[in-house]
Chain A
Amino acid sequence: MKKIRVVMIAVLAFTQLTGCGAAGGNAQQAESSQATGTAAGSSVFDGELEENVTIYVLENDTAISKGYFDELIEAFNEAYAEYGITAVDANMDQYLDLANDGPYGYGPDVLYQANDVIMQYAEDKHIYPLPAEQLECYELIDESAWDAYRIEVDGSEYICGVPVNVQAPMLYYRADLLPEDWESAWDENGNQVPDMAESWNAMYAWSLQRHEEDSTKYGYMKSLYDTYFSSGFLFSYGAYVFGENNTDPSHIGLAAGEAEKGAWVLSQLASAMSEECIDDTITANAYSKLADGTYFATISTPDVYSTFFDELVMAYEGEGMSEEEAKAAAEENLVMTTLPMLPESGDLTEENPTLIESKTMGGINGYAVSAYTEYPNDCLAFIEFATSYEMVVKRSEMLGIAPARQDAAETAGGTSELLYQSLADGNIVLMPSIKEVAQLWTPAETFFTDVAKDVFRSESERKYKDLEDFRAGLENMVQQIHDAIFTLQ
């Protein structure tokens, strides 16, 4: 019996000792990092590179699959070979869980994520505040992009991420599906850009006409429940998410200004779609339906351009074109551009309307440094390298992203420049970076779903008959978001 006890004690002691291994060490280090992280600002960034180490970088899937990430780490490793610093792929799911995995040493050192994700980590001190002003790109990135990564703690402001690219909804349409007479009948200002791409009124009219000519075809199609895409219609008429520059959750502005006109626009657009606009069917099938010509246009983010492109190439090949011909045709016919303008009145049937700019909800993707890294200076060096002009231009060329750096956006031209301009003009409303934004999605989706569904109800059952009804619906949604924030949190 004594022997058994001795063996058991030995086993327990062994397991305890094993528990103090690397993972435990990382956890302790993380705790101390958290303690000093935001309070001491960026004191860990002392400028002295940690030599002969490996840093783990988490990139997004598109950058990896298109080969950009390989080129980036290869170039970085070559540039920092004399210090023995090697950057490698963290090889993790792009939707990581830094809060749970980081403290045990299983998170990446550098991560590339959307601003709302990074800032939620920053609020819980899983991210280091960066000495952003020291970076070469600081002056070249618009202030609004930096704002997405700003956090205030005890009266001091910190920047927790470096903006790389701007994400905002873009209009995708097929130029070869335009009516044959578009240059004479659908280009009122004669600028060689079809009216459908310039005004929602024209897009609505064309959608109705296309569906009338062939009941299996549609014009503009989009899943309207999606808050990320639909909220822009409210913003365009004066709505906003939270007060105090998206930092005050007690002030919810989704019904502010003339937001009801935006809801009305959505309702009118839904009337030219099928019932699939109520759920996420269109979001999922837009790639193939745009390719087979069922849809004329949709909206999505710029990073999925290659998916639309590949589907269209496949569709052309199915029609008998060679691979080269199909690629050339897809390049020519698949157009990605900024959103059309909206009528000031909100009436899509108005002739010769006064047009206003469309605003959209957007995000800024960027790099951040994990608070659990042992090599913060190397991580900063990597970020400096990855956000240099050359690398951002290469990223834009290979992935089709819109750079947050002004000089890179100008070099990229086209859509990238337009997006940068939209950001600078305030037409891209950045997704709030505070935790309370989590309570926004469900009530907003319920409202947008209801607006889309209403079009398909019988006349007597309709809930939204005039602007007053839309306003009441919006106010109800705002109340629900408010209750969710202050009851559940």
Chain B
Amino acid sequence: MKKKKGFWHGMDVCVTYVLLFAVAFVFFFPCLWLILASFSKSGSIYSFDGFFPTEYSLASFRRLFTDTALYDYPQWFFNTLFVAAGSCVIGSFLVILTAYTMSRFEFKARKPLMKGTMVLGMFPSFMGMIAVYLLMTQFNMINSLWGLILIYSAGAPLQYLTQKGFFDTIPKAINEAARIDGATSFQIFTKINLPLSKPIIVYTALTSFTWPWSDFILPKLLLKKRELYTVAVGLMALDETEFARFAAGSVFIAVPIVILYFVLVKNMVNGMAQGAVKG
């Protein structure tokens, strides 16, 4: 009986690992292919031996940062960083404030507001693109990176539900105790709730950063000047013969987000674990 159980357990582990490897391969292979293609010496997809390049070099990356007369990748990179960082800071701030307000304060329009934002959040963002374009022309904010930051940040609080869920898990008794000790609402928020909310702040910052970092539709709609392009729009504007530059640009754009993830993920996990113990 024990043997039989051991056999099935072994099979279970085996099948699980096979499935995990298969799924990992499906997701990892395109990334691997793109990374190797970006190091291709010929720069042409048609010179590959089967799936992979025959010779490797750093030439594509060198061209990406030096041949900037027509395709100014460093400038696009800076623009993307500026928009993503700006949206991350302002957007995270607004989301946390919204979530905290919805979680901690009782006011008349709270429920209708929650329902309203939930319904509005269900509509795909590109539905409002024509209206956004017309509004931005009226505000004279076409060809402005701040215009992008404004839209990303203004739209961010609609996605506050996850953060509200987190604030709901912090016992209200802590707030009440602080209030009895004479703390103001602002002090309760900054000195008690914010330090306890590190994981959700990190999560919010990461998501607020990654959305503008990889978005294509909105920058394409609002940025007409080449010097203001973000990387996503710039890569799409490359000529069809510029595959190597495209591959190198696509690989390099992933670097900051990967670094950011590895730097911040520790805080997220630690915070979550701490929360679990407290709970």
B190 interface contact, C-beta 8 A: no
Query: Is B225 within 8 A of A91, CB to CB?
Result: yes
Per the CB 8 Å criterion, the residue count for chain B at the interface is 22
B62 interface contact, C-beta 8 A: no
How distant is the Cα of A22 from the Cα of B138 in the complex, in angstroms?
9
Report the minimal beta-carbon distance from A101 to chain B, rounded to whole angstroms: 6
How distant is the Cα of A67 from the Cα of B140 in the complex, in angstroms?
32
A19 interface contact, C-beta 8 A: yes
Report the minimal beta-carbon distance from B235 to chain A, rounded to whole angstroms: 13
Query: Is B138 within 8 A of A64, CB to CB?
Result: no
Q: A284-B240, A288-B42 are in contact. Are A91 and B227 (CB under 8 A)?
A: yes
Q: A91-B225, A101-B224 are in contact. Are A106 and B142 (CB under 8 A)?
A: yes
Chain B residues, CB < 8 A from A222:
none
Query: Is B42 within 8 A of A314, CB to CB?
Result: yes
Chain B residues, CB < 8 A from A191:
none
Query: Is B140 within 8 A of A93, CB to CB?
Result: no
B143 interface contact, C-beta 8 A: yes
How distant is the Cα of A104 from the Cα of B139 in the complex, in angstroms?
11
How distant is the Cα of A287 from the Cα of B227 in the complex, in angstroms?
29
Query: Is B139 within 8 A of A15, CB to CB?
Result: yes
Q: A91-B225, A288-B44 are in contact. Are A23 and B70 (CB under 8 A)?
A: no
User: Pick the contact of B70 from A65, A92, A284, A307 — CB < 8 Å?
Assistant: A65
Chain B residues, CB < 8 A from A414:
none
How distant is the Cα of A318 from the Cα of B44 in the complex, in angstroms?
14
Instruction: Find residues 85-138 in chain A having any chain B CB closer than 8 Å to their own CB.
Output: 91-93, 101, 104, 106
How distant is the Cα of A311 from the Cα of B227 in the complex, in angstroms?
28
A212 interface contact, C-beta 8 A: no
User: Pick the contact of A19 from B139, B143, B227 — CB < 8 Å?
Assistant: B139
How distant is the Cα of A311 from the Cα of B244 in the complex, in angstroms?
13
Report the minimal beta-carbon distance from A304 to chain B, rounded to whole angstroms: 8
Which partner residue on chain B sits nearest A22 by CB separation?
B140
How distant is the Cα of A289 from the Cα of B45 in the complex, in angstroms?
11
Which partner residue on chain A sits nearest B43 by CB separation?
A314
Q: A285-B44, A288-B46, A288-B47 are in contact. Are A64 and B139 (CB under 8 A)?
A: no
Query: Is A289 within 8 A of B224, CB to CB?
Result: no
Which partner residue on chain B sits nearest A101 by CB separation?
B224
User: Pick the contact of B142 from A23, A61, A67 — CB < 8 Å?
Assistant: A23
Which partner residue on chain A sits nearest B228 by CB separation?
A91
Query: Is A24 within 8 A of B46, CB to CB?
Result: no
Query: Is A104 within 8 A of B142, CB to CB?
Result: yes
Query: Is A287 within 8 A of B44, CB to CB?
Result: yes
Question: Per-residue CB proximity of A287-328 to B under 8 Å, as 1/0?
Answer: 111001000000000001001000100100010000000000
Chain A residues, CB < 8 A from B237:
93
A21 interface contact, C-beta 8 A: yes
B198 interface contact, C-beta 8 A: no
Chain B residues, CB < 8 A from A292:
47
How distant is the Cα of A244 from the Cα of B265 in the complex, in angstroms?
69
How distant is the Cα of A24 from the Cα of B139 in the complex, in angstroms?
10
How distant is the Cα of A24 from the Cα of B142 in the complex, in angstroms?
12
Query: Is B140 within 8 A of A21, CB to CB?
Result: yes
Question: Per-residue CB proximity of B58-96 to A under 8 Å, as 1/0?
Answer: 000000000001100000000000000000000000000
B104 interface contact, C-beta 8 A: no
How distant is the Cα of A158 from the Cα of B69 in the complex, in angstroms?
37
Query: Is B44 within 8 A of A106, CB to CB?
Result: no
Report the minimal beta-carbon distance from A94 to chain B, rounded to whole angstroms: 9
Chain A residues, CB < 8 A from B225:
91-92
Q: A65-B69, A91-B226 are in contact. Are A104 and B42 (CB under 8 A)?
A: no
Which partner residue on chain A sits nearest B241 by CB separation?
A307
Query: Is B70 within 8 A of A64, CB to CB?
Result: yes
A52 interface contact, C-beta 8 A: no
How distant is the Cα of A311 from the Cα of B45 in the complex, in angstroms?
13
Query: Is B46 within 8 A of A92, CB to CB?
Result: no
Chain A residues, CB < 8 A from B240:
284
Query: Is A285 within 8 A of B138, CB to CB?
Result: no
Instruction: Find residues 125-148 in chain B having any chain A CB closer than 8 Å to their own CB.
Output: 137-140, 142-143
Chain A residues, CB < 8 A from B43:
314
How distant is the Cα of A287 from the Cα of B46 in the complex, in angstroms?
9
How distant is the Cα of A382 from the Cα of B271 in the complex, in angstroms?
63
Query: Is B137 within 8 A of A92, CB to CB?
Result: no
A411 interface contact, C-beta 8 A: no
Instruction: Find residues 235-292 in chain A having any chain B CB closer than 8 Å to their own CB.
Output: 284-285, 287-289, 292
B106 interface contact, C-beta 8 A: no
- What are 21 pairs between A and B in contact, CB < 8 Å? A15-B138, A15-B139, A18-B138, A19-B139, A22-B140, A23-B137, A23-B142, A24-B138, A61-B239, A64-B69, A64-B70, A91-B225, A91-B226, A93-B224, A93-B237, A101-B224, A104-B137, A288-B46, A288-B47, A304-B241, A314-B43
Chain A contacts to B: CB under 8 angstroms: 15, 18-19, 21-24, 61, 64-65, 67, 91-93, 101, 104, 106, 284-285, 287-289, 292, 304, 307, 311, 314, 318
User: Which 8 residue pairs spanning A and B have beta carbons closest together?
Assistant: A19-B138, A285-B46, A288-B44, A65-B70, A104-B137, A91-B226, A288-B46, A21-B140
